[in-house]
Chain A
C-alpha cells in the first residue's frame, strides 16, 4: 500500500514517514504542491495525506484541482487550522477524511487503512472487532473457539454494527438496512435482536460490547481501548 505524504515541515514529514513505514506502508514525501503533482504524475499512490498549509499553493486549492481532474484517489486532509468552521472547508473541497494536527502516527495509519478498505469493504469476507470475528456471508460469529451461525436479522444488525465499530450507528439506519418494507419492525423488535446479540457475545467471552446510546442508536466497541 503506497501513500503520498504532502507536508512542508521537513522534521514532521520525516517523522511521519518513518512512523508510517513502521506501520507497513510505502511512503513518498512531497514538501510542496509542485513536487506532489510531479509524483502523482509518475507514481500514483493509494492514499494522499495532504497538509493544507503548503508554501507554493494552498492545500485546499490542490485538493480542488485534483478532484476537478477526476482523480479518485482517497485524500486524507491533515491541517493545523481546525477551528469552528475549517472542517467544512476541507470536506467540501473533496477530502475523504479530515484530521487536525497533531495526529498520533497510529491514528494516521488507522485512518489510512480505513480509507483503503472502503472500496473493498463490500467483498470483505471476515470482519473483526477485538476478539470477535464475523463472516457476513455465512452469518458466522466467532469468538476464540466458540462459533455460532446467526439468524438472518441478527446477522444483518451485527454486520452494520461491526462495519462501523467504534462509531454510533443510527437506530433508523439499522432498521432501514435490516427490515424490508413488508416486515415493518415492531417498536421493540430491534431491542430484542440487540439483546440476543449481547447475550451471545457475553457468553462467548467477547471483549467487544454493544452499547445503547439512548435516543440515537447503538455503538459496538472493542473493550480493549482505554
Chain B
C-alpha cells in the first residue's frame, strides 16, 4: 500500500521497455517468417560459404579441401539429410559427402556461375544450391543439398536475423532508456524525499521550522507550502502555550514572593507557621503547574546527551538533606556512567519528583534507593505500601492523588515524570518491590558505544 513512488514508476518504465522490445521482436519475426523461402535460401548460402572458406592451396599449387570439424558436423551427424560436393571445372570431384542427395554432376556445369539456387524438389523439402569459387585461376563448383533440415539451419538463420535486426540495435537502446528513466525519476523525486527528511528532522528538533522549498517542482511545492502553513500555526500555538505558562508562573510567583516576604515579618507563632506552610504548598503547586506546561511542550533534540548516573547523583545529592529531615535516608547505586540521549535538567526534574514521591510514602527510618542500570533505567525504590495493580495506570494522571497521600503532594509529580519520559521516547513504569514497596522506573534508551568500557 505504501510502496515507494520511485519503485512504482521504475516498475512501469521497465514494463514499457519490455513490451516495446517484445513487440519489436514479434514484428521482425512475422516479417521474416512470412518469407520463409528467403530464409531457406540464406541457410543454403551459409553452408556454401562455409565450404568455400575451407578451400586452400598447397605450396605446389594444388587445391585442397581442409574443413574444420564444425563445418562437417551436420554431414556426419545427418548423413541422410545433408550432402555436398566440390568439383573441378572438368568434372573431377575434389571432395564429396553423402552424394546420394545431390543431383548428378552435369557434363555442362557452371550454369550458375557465382550464384546459388534452390530446388525444393517434389516433396518440397529438398534444398540445394551451388556456387562457383575462383581460386588462383582455377574454378571449383560447390554443390549443397539438404532435406527436411534436421539441424535447423533455417531456424538458425532466422535467429541470426533476429539478433542482427532486433537485439543488437534495440537492446542497448532499451538499456539506456531504462537507466535514464530510473535516474530521471530519482532526480525528479529527490526534492520530495528531501522535504520528507526535513519533516522527520522537525519531529526531534526543539524548533518547528518550515520545510525547505528550494528546488521544488510546482506539484511538490504545493504540498510543502500547505504543510508549512500548518506547521507555522502549530509552532505559533505551541509558542503561545509556552509563553503563557511562563507568564502565568511569573504572575503567580511575584505575589507569592511578596506574601512570603510579608509573612517573614510576622512574629513567630502557631498561626504564622501554618500560614507559611500553606504558602509553601501554593508555591510548590505553582512550580509544578509550570513544569507540567514545560514538560508538555518539551522536545528533546536527538543529539542531546547526558549521563543518567550523573542525573541520579545530582538528584540524590540535592535531596539527601531533605530526606534526612523527613527521617528517611537516600542511597545511590550507580557504578558507571550510562550515556543516554536526553536532557539533563528535565530528567533530573523527573527523577526528583520520583524521589519526593517515594520519600512521602516510605515509612520513617527506611531507605529510598536510586539505582541506575546500564540498560538505561533510573529506578527509585521505596519500602512503602506499594501501588495496587489496578491503580498503577492512574498514578500518572494529573491531579490524581492516593487516598493515603498525606499533606504536601500536588498530584502532578508523577504526571510530569511520565511526560518527561515520553518526551525522551521512554516510559515511566511501576513495579513491585520484593518485600513490599514500589519501584518507579524511568526507562530511557542508552547509547551503546560506551557500554564496552
Contacts and interface: CB of A to CB of B under 8 A. Distances in A.
Contacts of A100: 253, 287
Contacts of A119: none
Interface string B168-201: 0000000000000000000000000000000000
Interface residues of A, number: 37
A85 B294 contact: yes
Interface in A43-68: 53
B250 A211 contact: no
B325 A226 contact: yes
Nearest to A213: B320
A74 interface: no
Nearest to A214: B331
Nearest to A17: B261
Interface string B360-375: 0000000101100000
Contacts of B257: 9, 12, 80, 101-103
Contact of B264 (A19, A83, A167): A19
B325 A225 contact: yes
Contact of B367 (A81, A105, A214): A214
Nearest to B279: A102
A215 interface: yes
Across chains A and B, which 3 residue pairs bring their CB atoms closest together, nearest first? Answer: A215-B332, A214-B331, A15-B261
Contacts of A167: 317, 321
Contacts of A9: 254, 257-258
Contacts of B349: 84
Contacts of A217: 317
6 contacts: A19-B264, A84-B420, A102-B258, A213-B332, A215-B316, A215-B334
B313 interface: yes
Contacts, number: 120
B375 to A, nearest CB: 19
Nearest to A82: B287
Nearest to B290: A83
A168 B349 CA distance: 18
A213 B329 contact: yes
Contacts of A219: 320-321, 324
Given A85-B343, A216-B332, A104 B294 contact: no
A87 B320 CA distance: 20
A182 interface: no
Interface in B242-270: 245-246, 249-250, 253-254, 256-262, 264-265
A84 B316 contact: no
Contacts of B283: 102
A207 to B, nearest CB: 14
A166 interface: yes
A114 interface: no
A162 to B, nearest CB: 15
B298 interface: yes
Contacts of A83: 245-246, 249, 287, 290-291, 294
